[in-house]
C-alpha cells in the first residue's frame, strides 16, 4: 500500500528534508583533502541534534554511524571512520533524519579537490538522471517512467546503473512502499498519484553495474574498483512533476536543465 500524504504531512516532511539539506550543505563544504569521514559524521550528528531531530541511520538494522559516506569506488553505505579524503576522489554523502515523526533522506556526490574527466562526467550524468527522474514523477505516469529516465540517461552517457539497491517510498518510516528501481522492470509498476512521497536515488557506476559488499557488512563497492556516484532527493508527486522536498538554494543538485 503506497501512502498518499496530506498537505499537512507534506509540510512536516518538507521540514525534515530541509534539515537534511542543511546538513548536506555543511558537509559538502567540509569534504576537502585531509579531513576524515569520521569528522564529517561527527559534524552531521551535532547539526542534526541541534535542529532537534534524530539521525535516522544510527542503529538502523545495527548501522553504527549517523551518516553514510562513500568514497570513490564505494557506492553506498560507507561507514565513516578514520579514512582521510584525498585529492581527486569523489565523495557521496547520504543523510537521513527523523523529525516530528516523519523522515527526511537525501544524498549527493561532491568532488574532493581536483577530479578527472571521468569522475566529472559521472557526477554530471547521475545528477542529470535525478533531474529527469524527478520530472517524470508526475501524476498519471507510472513508476517505470522514473526508472526509465535514470537508466536511459546514464547508459547514453556510457555508465551503468546499480541494480542491487533502489530508491523507496518515505514518510512515517524511512523505507516504505514502493521500491523505486533505477532500471526498467518488466511491468509498468504502480500508477503515480499526487501526494505520494518518494526517495529517488540514482546510483551509477563508471564501469560494471556489479557490486560487492565489504567485510563490515555494509559498505557496497563496485566490483571493478571504478568510481560510483549517488544523488538523492525526497520528492512528492505532483501534477506537473516531482516537487523536491530536500531542495536548498545554497547547493543545487537534481535540477539540471533537461
pLDDT at residue 85, rounded to an integer = 98
List Cβ neighbours of 155 (8 Å cut-off, separation of 6 or more).
161
> Is the pLDDT assigned to residue 257 strictly greater than 80?
no
The Cα–Cα gap between 126 and 17 comes to: 20
- Tens of pLDDT, residue by residue over 123-150, are 999 999 999 999 999 999 999 999 999 9
Domains recognised in the chain with CATH numbers:
7-244 (3.90.230.10)
Q: What pLDDT is recorded for position 258?
A: 56
pLDDT, tens digit, 9 for 90 and up, residues 201-241: 999 999 999 999 999 999 999 999 999 999 999 999 999 99
pLDDT of 256 > 80? The answer is no
What cell was used for 207?
564501469
DSSP conformational letter for 62: G
- Interacting residues of 198 by C-beta distance below 8 A, sequence separation 6+: 137, 146, 167, 168, 169, 170, 178, 180, 234, 235, 236, 237, 242
Sign of the Cα torsion 4, 102, 131, 231 reads: negative
How many other C-beta atoms lie within 10 A of the C-beta of residue 258? 9
Tell me 158's DSSP state: T
- Check pLDDT > 90 for residue 249: no
Share of the chain above pLDDT 70, in %: 99
Confidence band of 172 (pLDDT split at 50, 70, 90): very high
Separation CA 120–CA 166 (nearest Å): 23
* 57-98 residue pLDDT tens: 999 999 999 999 999 999 999 999 999 999 999 999 999 999
Report DSSP letters for 67-89, one per residue: EEEEETTEEE-PPPSSPBP-TT-
Percent pLDDT > 90 in the chain is 95
- In the numeric block, which cell numbers belong to residue 96? 537521513
The model's confidence at residue 154, banded by pLDDT at 50, 70 and 90, is very high
DSSP-derived secondary structure letter, 250: T
* pLDDT value of position 254: 87
Taking the alpha carbons at both ends of the chain, their separation in whole angstroms is: 32
User: What integer best gives the mean pLDDT of the chain?
Assistant: 97
pTM (2 decimals)? 0.96
Amino acid at each position: 500500500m503506497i501512502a498518499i500524504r496530506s498537505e499537512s504531512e507534506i509540510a512536516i516532511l518538507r521540514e525534515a528534508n530541509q534539515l537534511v539539506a542543511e546538513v548536506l550543505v555543511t558537509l559538502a563544504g567540509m569534504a576537502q583533502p585531509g579531513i576524515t569521514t569520521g569528522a564529517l559524521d561527527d559534524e552531521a550528528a551535532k547539526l542534526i541534534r541541534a535542529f532537534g531531530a534524530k539521525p535516522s541511520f544510527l542503529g538502523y538494522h545495527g548501522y553504527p554511524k549517523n551518516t553514510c559516506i562513500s568514497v570513490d569506488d564505494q557506492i553506498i553505505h560507507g561507514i565513516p571512520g578514520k579514512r582521510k579524503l584525498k585529492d581527486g576522489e569523489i565523495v557521496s554523502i547520504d543523510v537521513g533524519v527523523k523529525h516530528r515523526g516523519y523522515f527526511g533522506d537525501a544524498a549527493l556526490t561532491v568532488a574532493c579537490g581536483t577530479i578527472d574527466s571521468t569522475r566529472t562526467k559521472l557526477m554530471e550524468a547521475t545528477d542529470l538522471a535525478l533531474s529527469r527522474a524527478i520530472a517524470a514523477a508526475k501524476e498519471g505516469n507510472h513508476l517505470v517512467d522514473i526508472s526509465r529516465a535514470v537508466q536511459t540517461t546514464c547508459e547514453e552517457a556510457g555508465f551503468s546503473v546499480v541494480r542491487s539497491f533502489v530508491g523507496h517510498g518515505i514518510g512515517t518510516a524511512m523505507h516504505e512502499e514502493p521500491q523505486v528501481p533505477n532500471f526498467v522492470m518488466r511491468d509498468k509498476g504502480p500508477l503515480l498519484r499526487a501526494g505520494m512521497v518518494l526517495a529517488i536515488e540514482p546510483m551509477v557506476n563508471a564501469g560494471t553495474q556489479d557490486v560487492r559488499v565489504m567485510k563490515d557488512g555494509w559498505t557496497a563497492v563496485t566490483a571493478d574498483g571504478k568510481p560510483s556516484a549517488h544523488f538523492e532527493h525526497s520528492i512528492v508527486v505532483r501534477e506537473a512533476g516531482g516537487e523536491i522536498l530536500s531542495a536548498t538554494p545554497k547547493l543545487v543538485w537534481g535540477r539540471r536543465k533537461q
